[in-house]
Amino acid sequence: MGPYRILPVVTLSPPSTHSPNQEFRRYRKLVAWTAVVVVALGCVYALISVVVALQRQRNGVVEDRISAQLTDRETRGCFDELRDVSVALEKHLENAYHLLGGYDSEEARRWSDEGEIWRKRWRVFGQRCRLEDPRPTPPHKDFEAMAAAYQELSSIQTTYSRELLRFGSELAPRLDRINKRVDQIGEHLAEPSPPTGETK
CB contact set of 150 (below 8 Å; sequence gap of 6+): 82, 122, 125, 126, 129, 131
Quote the radius of gyration of the chain (alpha carbons, Å): 39
110 in the same domain as 87? yes
Whether 64 maps to a domain, the answer reads no
Of 123, 115, 129, the closest CA to residue 57 belongs to 123
Do residues 170 and 135 share a domain?
yes
Judged against a pLDDT cut of 80, whether residue 183 lies above it is answered with yes
Residue 102 sits in the same domain as residue 153: yes
Number of domains in the chain: 2
Assess whether 86 and 181 both reside in one domain.
yes
**Do 94 and 47 share a structural domain?**
no
Any idea how long the chain is? Answer: 200
Same domain, yes or no, for 55 and 91? no
Q: Are 150 and 86 in contact (CB under 8 A)?
A: no
- Whether residue 52 is contained in a domain is answered as yes
Lowest-pLDDT choice from 82-86, 90-94, 164-168: 164-168
Quick one: pLDDT band at residue 138, thresholds 50, 70, 90? low
Among 4-13, 32-41, 117-126, 131-140, where is mean pLDDT lowest?
Answer: 4-13
Tell me what pLDDT residue 62 has. 46
Q: CA 64, 66, 68, 69 torsion: positive or negative?
A: positive
Question: Is the domain of 30 the same as that of 95?
Answer: no
CA dist 131 and 144 (Å) reads: 9
Cis peptide before 173 (omega within 30 of 0): no
Both 46 and 108 in a single domain? no
Rounded to 5 degrees, φ, ψ at 157 are -65, -40
Do 126 and 39 sit in the same domain of this protein? no
Is 156 in the same domain as 114? Answer: yes
Cα distances from 145 to residues 83, 137, 142, 174, 187, in angstroms, run 13, 15, 5, 41, 56
Q: What local confidence, expressed as pLDDT, does residue 33 receive?
A: 77
pLDDT in tens, 147-170: 999 999 999 999 988 887 777 777
Query: Does one domain contain both 81 and 111?
Result: yes
- Please check whether residue 100 lies inside any domain of the structure: yes
Owning domain of residue 37:
24-59
Whether residue 156 lies inside any domain: the answer is yes
